[in-house]
């Protein structure tokens, strides 16, 4: 089991605990391959998916994970919630707490929202993505997939490519890689880098082509193509040309190197269709690992309790 | 009725005073200063081990009245001021409605006369509604008691509008107070752009968002020769520009807040405590160090609190949604004593310069000095008093202080406004 009561930041876990989650996820993955995919582990426990920002993939993944552990999984989503009626998040937290939930998975538009929940309720919290801050379960499933495909994490060179400044995926993945002894390398136009990539733990490469031959993993982030403010690059075409992964670039990578993406993909922008569908792309392995890793995370938080 | 303040360390560099002596106040004026004074009738205030200084003034407070009396009123805000050792405050105009006409300025003056515990000087908006689009009636507001003009809460976005404001204000010899914030650079920023914005995944508010307007407004002060006061400066770069402007002899003054002097972005933790959300944001340690150095070398004219009371339900929101600001009136003096005087970084004379003379000079307010015949606005400080900053400590209606939980050293025990007690034995005395 793990020390922290919540998984809000990837740094709530120690490197040993991350390894424990990944090891546990391996056995759950095996369960997910059986015909009967259900364990009684969390029977009678209530898991709330509090998704106050649209999400299908992550919410579904957590819901399946909770159900496979026999927990009662309830979805509480943005449009259906009291939050649109002007209720504060603190009040939502206290309302859920009064209903005696055991675990809340929260997805929220603003950074720090999981902390507000943790401060106002007794339940365990898993951060399902908060603003531009963190998305720790995504980082765990990404580590799982890297370890599964490449046999280890230590020493891997991982290029994280794209909108790092707005990405909660990068906010958890980069420190997670660093913790596990890998080398995260941030690759992005300067307009999409955070103010201090070093604070996350990333080295910064000046161009994708320069570092490609050294990489074990090219981790392509989704480009947000609709923005209120000015676009941070002149055109999608120029972005794809400078920072997209395509067959020509894939050919320059090590033969063992893999391409990852947290989804949903913009085919033809950050990743070409040919690469997305190639055997070097592990995008569906990531999705598959997501259920097992989330089962492991829930088990780690709740499983040790009476 | 006479008052005898006996045995205080009386400090006023402008009167050449720093010695243990007595002060007699009669009919609202300072009647005598000297050794072994006595009064035939009246009240004696024993001031052994205490420091007696000219009344402190805070030139940057938000009293919230009219419009948000749930957060603060002129009465509660001036009670907080007295509790913090101030004899006067300047009220920023970003109320609802904005103080942008003479009648609205007069409302503040009249309310303060009726309910204020300390003096209140209104600051008028420099543009209508502080929208940055059209000149406000600066002349009319001056006639009704406004002492300076500012669109505080927003930077004036276009250089042309700022030039117009300064050109127009010049004829009155009044001061334009600039809240420096280029919105096209700051956008949705809520914390310093750098370590903390990256660490917490919050939108960054870059130093350049302040510095570009500091540079612009100093240049406009040179062009128009209008008096310019730069509010709540937070970066090393801004300080450097003010230092250069002063060396050139430009009519430029500036203030810093206690929170920018004594906190940094590193104090904002993954607790996402919204009491640390300020505008401008808490900066890096190097910026804080530059501010403290500039206090000592005279680049900074005054300490002002930017006292910004907010309701608990507003501050209990997600960091990006909560309003900016911390209260400051009741902790400023204690923070200065704890962090600067007790550590011998500043003398008591420096405190008087930064919290009494500097701010009055910056806005052209009537000077308050410890000299016979002068108005008896004075503050008595117990430098050894211990202050536990808890919610119940505050006289303000709001308790959104970034210093909640702190234990501080030194506090005002008496505040005298025109010879009348606003604070006695550390307790506020209503008007």
Residues of chain A positioned with their CB less than 8 A from the CB of B203? 132
Q: Is the dihedral of CA A76, A78, A79, A84 positive or negative?
A: positive
Q: How far is B210 from B39, CA to CA, in rounded Å?
A: 53
Q: Tell me: the pLDDT tens digits for B183-232?
A: 999 999 999 999 999 999 999 999 999 999 999 999 999 999 999 999 99
Structure tokens at A171: 């906010």
Cβ–Cβ contact B113 with A under 8 A: no
Per-residue b or e along B217-249, where b marks 16 or more CB atoms closer than 10 Å to that residue's CB: bbebbbebebbbbbbbbbbbbbbebbbebbeee
Cβ–Cβ contact B200 with A under 8 A: yes
Nearest-5° Cα angle at B191, B190 to B192: 135
DSSP 8-state secondary structure symbol assigned to residue B261: H
Q: How far is B90 from B122, CA to CA, in rounded Å?
A: 6
Q: How far is B40 from B145, CA to CA, in rounded Å?
A: 39
DSSP 8-state secondary structure symbol assigned to residue B372: T
Residues of chain B positioned with their CB less than 8 A from the CB of A196? 194-195, 197-198
Confidence tier at A80 by pLDDT (50, 70, 90): very low
Comparing C-alpha atoms, which of A270, A12, A267 is closest to residue A159? A270
Residues of chain A positioned with their CB less than 8 A from the CB of B270? 8-9, 112, 115
Q: What is the pLDDT of residue A229?
A: 64
Q: Tell me: the pLDDT tens digits for B79-108?
A: 999 999 999 999 999 999 999 999 999 999
Confidence tier at A24 by pLDDT (50, 70, 90): very high
Q: What is the pLDDT of residue A227?
A: 60
Cβ–Cβ contact B317 with A under 8 A: yes
Nearest-5° Cα angle at B412, B409 to B414: 155
Quote the strand ranges of B250-397, DSSP E: 252-256, 302-303, 378-388
Q: Catalytic residues of B, which ones?
A: 306
Cβ–Cβ contact A113 with B under 8 A: yes
Comparing C-alpha atoms, which of B47, B39, B48 is closest to residue B2? B39
Task: Scan for tokens 């209008």, then name that residue.
Answer: B226
The answer to whether A171 contacts B320, with C-beta atoms less than 8 Å apart, is: no
Residues of chain A positioned with their CB less than 8 A from the CB of B319? 110-112
Cβ–Cβ contact A199 with B under 8 A: yes
Answer whether residue A81 shows pLDDT above 90: no
Q: Tell me: the pLDDT tens digits for B63-76?
A: 999 999 999 999 99
DSSP 8-state secondary structure symbol assigned to residue B346: S
Q: Tell me: the pLDDT tens digits for B386-428?
A: 999 999 999 999 999 999 999 999 999 999 999 999 999 999 9
Q: What is the pLDDT of residue B1?
A: 80
- Name the minimum distance, in Å, from the CA of A94 to any CA of chain B: 13
Answer whether residue A228 shows pLDDT above 60: no
Mean pLDDT for B254-277 is 98
ipTM of the complex: 0.92
Answer whether residue A155 shows pLDDT above 70: yes
Q: How far is B364 from A290, CA to CA, in rounded Å?
A: 66
Mean pLDDT for A140-155 is 98
The answer to whether A112 contacts B202, with C-beta atoms less than 8 Å apart, is: yes
Residues of chain B positioned with their CB less than 8 A from the CB of A195? 193-195, 197-198, 204, 206
Q: How far is B123 from B148, CA to CA, in rounded Å?
A: 5
Give residues with Cβ within 8 angstroms of B286, minimum separation 6. B236
Q: What is the pLDDT of residue A79?
A: 52
Q: Tell me: the pLDDT tens digits for B21-61?
A: 999 999 999 999 999 999 999 999 999 999 999 999 999 99
Mean pLDDT for A38-55 is 93
Answer whether residue A83 shows pLDDT above 60: no
Cβ–Cβ contact B316 with A under 8 A: yes
Answer whether residue A116 shows pLDDT above 60: yes
| CB contact residues (below 8 A), chain B span 241-300, against chain A | 270-272
Q: Tell me: the pLDDT tens digits for B320-366?
A: 999 999 999 999 999 999 999 999 999 999 999 999 999 999 999 99
Task: Identify which of B187, B195, B201 has the shortest CB distance to residue A131.
Answer: B201
Cβ–Cβ contact A108 with B under 8 A: yes
Comparing C-alpha atoms, which of B328, B311, B290 is closest to residue B398? B311
Mean pLDDT for A3-7 is 96
- Name the minimum distance, in Å, from the CA of A35 to any CA of chain B: 41
Instruction: Show the 3-state SS of chain A.
Output: CCCCCCECCHHHCCHHHHHHHHHHHHHHHHHHCCCCCCCCCCCCCEEEEEECCCCCHHHHHHHHHHHHCCCEEEEEEHHHCHHHHCCCHHHHHHHHHHCCCCEEEEEECCCCHHHHHHHHCCCEEEEEEECCCECHHHHHHHHHHHHHHHCCCCCCEEEEECCCCCCHHHHHHHHHHHHCCCEEEEECCHHHCCCCHHHHCCEECCCHHHHHHHCCEEEECCCCCCCCCCCCCCCHHHHHHHHCECHHHHHCCCCCCEEECCCCCCECCCECHHHHCCCCECHHHHHHHHHHHHHHHHHHHHCCCC
Q: Tell me: the pLDDT tens digits for B284-296?
A: 999 999 999 999 9
Q: How many interface pairs between A and B have CB atoms less than 8 angstroms apart?
A: 65
Q: How far is A76 from B128, CA to CA, in rounded Å?
A: 45
The answer to whether B198 contacts A131, with C-beta atoms less than 8 Å apart, is: no
Nearest CA in chain B to A166: B201
Comparing C-alpha atoms, which of A195, A185, A266 is closest to residue A219? A185
The answer to whether B316 contacts A90, with C-beta atoms less than 8 Å apart, is: yes
- Name the minimum distance, in Å, from the CA of A195 to any CA of chain B: 5
Q: Tell me: the pLDDT tens digits for B159-179?
A: 999 999 999 999 999 999 999
Nearest CA in chain B to A132: B201
Q: How far is A257 from A250, CA to CA, in rounded Å?
A: 9
Least trusted range by pLDDT, from B132-136, B180-184, B427-431: B427-431
Give residues with Cβ within 8 angstroms of B188, minimum separation 6. B203, B320
Cβ atoms of residues B402 and B268 within 8 Å: no
Q: What is the pLDDT of residue A224?
A: 80
Q: Tell me: the pLDDT tens digits for B220-261?
A: 999 999 999 999 999 999 999 999 999 999 999 999 999 999
Mean pLDDT for A262-272 is 96
Strands B2-12 and B17-26: antiparallel
Give residues with Cβ within 8 angstroms of B105, minimum separation 6. B99, B122, B124, B141, B144, B145, B146
Q: How far is B117 from B83, CA to CA, in rounded Å?
A: 10
Answer whether residue A225 shows pLDDT above 90: no
């Amino acid at each position: 089991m793990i020390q922290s009561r919540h998984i809000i930041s990837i740094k709530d876990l120690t490197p040993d605990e991350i390894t424990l989650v990944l090891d546990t996820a391996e056995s759950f993955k095996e369960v997910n391959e059986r015909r009967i995919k259900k364990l009684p582990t969390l029977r009678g426990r209530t898991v709330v998916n509090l998704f106050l920002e649209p999400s299908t993939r992550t919410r579904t993944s957590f819901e399946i994970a909770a159900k496979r552990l026999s927990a009662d999984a309830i979805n509480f989503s943005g449009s259906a919630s009291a939050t649109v009626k002007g209720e504060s998040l603190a009040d939502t937290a206290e309302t859920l707490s009064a209903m005696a939930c055991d675990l809340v998975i929260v997805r929220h538009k603003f950074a720090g929202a999981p902390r507000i929940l943790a401060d106002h309720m007794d339940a365990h919290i898993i951060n399902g993505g908060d603003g531009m801050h963190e998305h720790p379960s995504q980082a765990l499933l990404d580590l799982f997939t890297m370890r599964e495909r490449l046999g280890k994490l230590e020493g891997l060179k991982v290029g994280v490519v794209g909108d790092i400044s707005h990405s909660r995926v990068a906010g958890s993945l980069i420190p997670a890689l660093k913790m596990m002894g890998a080398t995260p390398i941030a690759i992005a136009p300067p307009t999409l880098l955070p103010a201090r990539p070093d604070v996350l733990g990333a080295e910064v490469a000046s161009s994708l082509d320069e570092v490609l031959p050294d990489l074990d993993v090219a981790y392509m982030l989704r480009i947000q193509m609709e923005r209120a403010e000015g676009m941070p690059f002149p055109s999608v075409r120029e972005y794809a040309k400078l920072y997209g992964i395509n067959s020509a670039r894939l050919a320059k990578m090590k033969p063992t190197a893999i391409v990852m993406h947290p989804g949903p993909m913009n085919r033809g922008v950050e990743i070409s269709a040919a690469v997305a569908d190639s055997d070097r792309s592990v995008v569906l392995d990531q999705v598959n690992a997501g259920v097992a890793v989330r089962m492991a995370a829930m088990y780690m938080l709740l499983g040790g309790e009476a | 009725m006479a008052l005898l303040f006996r045995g205080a360390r009386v400090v006023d560099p402008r009167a050449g005073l720093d010695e243990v002596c007595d002060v007699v106040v009669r009919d609202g004026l300072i009647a005598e200063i000297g050794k072994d004074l006595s009064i035939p009738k009246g009240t004696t205030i024993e001031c052994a081990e205490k420091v007696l200084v000219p009344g402190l003034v805070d030139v940057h407070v938000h009293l919230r009245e009219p419009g948000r009396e749930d957060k603060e009123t002129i009465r509660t805000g001036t009670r907080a001021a007295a509790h913090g050792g101030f004899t006067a405050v300047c009220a920023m105009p970003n109320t609802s409605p904005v103080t942008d006409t003479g009648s609205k300025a007069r409302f503040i003056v009249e309310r303060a006369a009726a309910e204020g515990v300390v003096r209140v000087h209104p600051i008028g908006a420099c543009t209508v509604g502080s929208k940055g689009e059209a000149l406000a009636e600066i002349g009319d507001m001056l006639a009704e008691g406004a002492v300076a003009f500012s669109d505080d809460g927003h930077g004036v976005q276009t250089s042309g509008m700022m030039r117009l404001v300064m050109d127009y204000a010049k004829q009155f010899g009044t001061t334009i107070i600039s809240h420096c914030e280029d919105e096209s650079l700051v956008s949705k920023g809520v914390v310093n752009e750098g370590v903390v914005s990256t660490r917490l995944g919050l939108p960054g508010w870059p130093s350049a968002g302040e510095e570009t307007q500091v540079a612009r407004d100093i240049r406009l002060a040179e062009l128009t020769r209008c008096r310019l006061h730069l509010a709540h400066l937070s970066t090393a770069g801004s300080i450097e520009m003010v230092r250069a402007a002063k060396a050139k002899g430009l009519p430029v003054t500036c203030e810093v807040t206690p929170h920018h002097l004594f906190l940094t972005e590193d104090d904002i933790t993954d607790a996402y405590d919204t009491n640390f959300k300020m505008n401008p944001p808490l900066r890096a340690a190097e910026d804080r160090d530059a501010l403290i150095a500039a206090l000592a070398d005279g680049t900074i004219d005054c300490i002002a609190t930017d006292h910004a009371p907010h309701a608990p339900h507003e501050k209990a929101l997600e960091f990006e949604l909560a309003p900016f600001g911390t209260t400051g009136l009741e902790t400023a003096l204690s923070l200065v004593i704890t962090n600067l005087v007790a550590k011998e970084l500043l003398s008591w004379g420096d405190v008087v310069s930064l919290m009494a003379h500097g701010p009055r000079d910056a806005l052209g307010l009537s000077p308050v000095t410890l000299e016979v015949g002068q108005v008896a606005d004075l503050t008595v400080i117990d430098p050894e008093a211990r202050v536990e900053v808890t919610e119940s400590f505050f006289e303000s209606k709001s308790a959104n202080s970034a210093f909640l939980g702190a234990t501080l050293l030194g506090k005002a025990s008496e505040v005298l406004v025109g010879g009348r007690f606003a604070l006695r034995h550390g307790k506020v005395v209503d008007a």
